[in-house]
Structure 1
Amino acid sequence: MSAAAQERMPALYLSHGAPPLADDPIWPGQLAAWSAELPRPKAILMVSAHWEEAPLALGAVRTVSLVYDFWGFPEHYYQVTYAAPGAPELAESVRKLLRAPGTPVQDIPDRGLDHGAYVPLVEMFPAADIPVLQISMPTLDPVRLMEIGRRLAPLRDEGVLIVGSGFFTHNLAALRHTGGGVPAWSSEFDDWGRRALEARDWDALLDFLDKAPAGRYAHPRTEHFAPLFVTMGAADDGAGPAVPESVIDGFWLGMAKRSVQFG
């Protein structure tokens, strides 16, 4: 393994956007600029809001078709490809780190990358030349997800970029009844989340539904915030995660696109 591959990788939580992100005049460039500042990963481990499966599952370890898990979009969004190499070695490492008595790990070999994984990867690593493995979220419980992240943390020392992909606020139903601009529930939650991250207030973040203003409105279902806890766990060096850097902020269609880097 080269010295570059051994460099400890950061852990990321990003807001992934929908397929039309590719047409946004600002966001793709922000993602590309972010990836350009990162060490080159040996492999990428993705945890997406769009794959919940218990027991925890490993997706395809070879290149298979993407999962176009969205409906009603123009046809060209269903023609996007991202033929990244599979990551069988990473899959084996994940099995060893996560499998334990009472904690099974399953394989779903035909499950390709969903849009929570490939939409940001197309912008960040467009050459699709880095092996990618996606794993499922077996639960939405923040404490359990953070523990999964802690168990995956050694991968960072092997050159693996761990990415939790969600959306910092996510209530599509409420947005349908909102006029232009950013709704108060989205901006208030985003500001609270920023301050909690800067203060390393992990207890508040773990209890975000009750501690955050508009917590249950910003996340009526919590799957888009949940990947943050895997990232936080992966960034925990025993004294808790370091203060993350908000690399991307602002709003997209009223939702907070805050994306952060630990390490």
Structure 2
Amino acid sequence: MTTSTAAADALVSASHPFARHLEHHARSQARSPRRTWTTDDGVLPALYISHGAPPTFTDAAWMRQMHDWASTMPTPRAILIVSAHWESDSIGITSTVPTELVYDFGGFDPMYYRMRYDTPDSGPLAQLVLDALPDTVHVHEHRDRGLDHGAWLPLKVMYPDADIPVLQLSLPTSDPTRLLALGARLRGLREQGVLVMGSGFMTHGLPYIDWRRPDVVPAWSSDFDTWAADALDRGDVDELARFSTRAPGLRFAHPTVEHFTPLFVTLGAATDPTTPVTTAIDGFIFGGLSKRSFHVA
């Protein structure tokens, strides 16, 4: 059966890198179909992913890294993702019924505004989220809000078939302590086959990129990435939580911090947040932004 997502993907030019990525996915599935999570698999990891805007769909190597990373894990029963692109004063969730995507970017090829990622009803996932949070926490379902590009763009690369229920949770604060506590509340979902994901960008200093020299990694990005990588490799959550005073190059790497702070939801959801992470993707892209991404057990 051809889905709306597949029908939209079929309109992508065969010469476009994303079309070739879809071919890679189809070949991979034919050769070794992804296996759906069962209780025998135990707890799913939690992920922090660096993602880009629509030009991600032109980067074949990065898409392959993201896709093949997803292939190393059992296919989750559902996905709960916190994106840098939805900040709020209180916790919100996206619509549990099929809703239009949020195309929260501008100036790109019209093909990206025709993309679809129509996932199944996420009502059961929403109930799991509500059950995980204290009764004193009000969670508002935004029935007119679909997934923004911080959610659907990386998921479209990692799970192209759009056959997994997905719910997006808003980012209610930039305070690491509160975000770690939120992640801890969500930890139990991993035992039920839910993939918990924080979506941002390890460095995101777009105003300070020298687009005339896109292959040069600026010091503010490499210094911040090295600092973060060292702390993550040591499981030093306290150091990471003090990023506002400790991280080198912060003013340029994160003029605003929403692309970094989803990391704390991921760490909070870890079985032991002080255990060193497993880095899945590193390196730099788009004028020196760090694409460091990792998972925690």
Structure 2 length normalisation: TM-score? 0.84
Q: Which residue of 1 aligns with 2:38?
A: 3
Question: Whole-Å Cα distance in 2 between the matches of residues 123 and 78 of structure 1?
Answer: 16
Question: Whole-Å Cα distance in 2 between the matches of residues 81 and 62 of structure 1?
Answer: 15
**Secondary structure in 1 matching 2:60:** coil
Q: Which residue of 1 aligns with 2:192?
A: 158
User: Residue 122 of structure 1: CA displacement?
Assistant: 0.7
How do 1:34-113 and structure 2 match up within 5 A? 34-101=69-136, 103-113=137-147
Gaps of 5+ in 2: 1-35
- Tell me whether 35-44 or 177-186 shows the greater mean CA deviation: 177-186
Q: Which residue of 2 aligns with 1:139?
A: 173
Structure 2 vs 1, CA of residues 155 and 6 (structure 1 numbering), >3 Å: closer, same or farther? farther
Asked if the contact 1:5–1:42 (Cα under 8 Å) also holds between the matched residues in 2, the reply is: no
Question: Whole-Å Cα distance in 2 between the matches of residues 128 and 156 of structure 1?
Answer: 20
Question: Whole-Å Cα distance in 2 between the matches of residues 3 and 52 of structure 1?
Answer: 33
Gaps of 5+ in 1: none
Aligned with 2:259 (options 211, 216, 224): 224
How do 1:3-42 and structure 2 match up within 5 A? 3-4=38-39, 7-42=42-77
Matched, 1:197 2:249: no
User: Residue 177 of structure 1: CA displacement?
Assistant: 7.0
Asked if the contact 1:44–1:160 (Cα under 8 Å) also holds between the matched residues in 2, the reply is: yes
| Pair member with larger Rg | 2
Question: Whole-Å Cα distance in 1 between the matches of residues 155 and 38 of structure 2?
Answer: 24
Q: Which residue of 2 aligns with 1:242?
A: 275
Q: Which residue of 1 aligns with 2:292?
A: 258
User: Residue 11 of structure 1: CA displacement?
Assistant: 0.2
Asked if the contact 2:39–2:192 (Cα under 8 Å) also holds between the matched residues in 1, the reply is: no
Question: Whole-Å Cα distance in 2 between the matches of residues 177 and 213 of structure 1?
Answer: 22
Asked if the contact 1:99–1:105 (Cα under 8 Å) also holds between the matched residues in 2, the reply is: no
Partner amino acid, structure 1, of 2:161: A
Please provide the CA RMSD for this pair. Answer: 1.7
Question: Whole-Å Cα distance in 2 between the matches of residues 104 and 163 of structure 1?
Answer: 21
User: Residue 7 of structure 1: CA displacement?
Assistant: 2.8
Larger RCO (CA within 8 A; separation ≥ 6): 1
Question: Whole-Å Cα distance in 2 between the matches of residues 8 and 248 of structure 1?
Answer: 21
Asked if the contact 2:234–2:275 (Cα under 8 Å) also holds between the matched residues in 1, the reply is: no
Q: Percent identity among equivalent residues?
A: 47
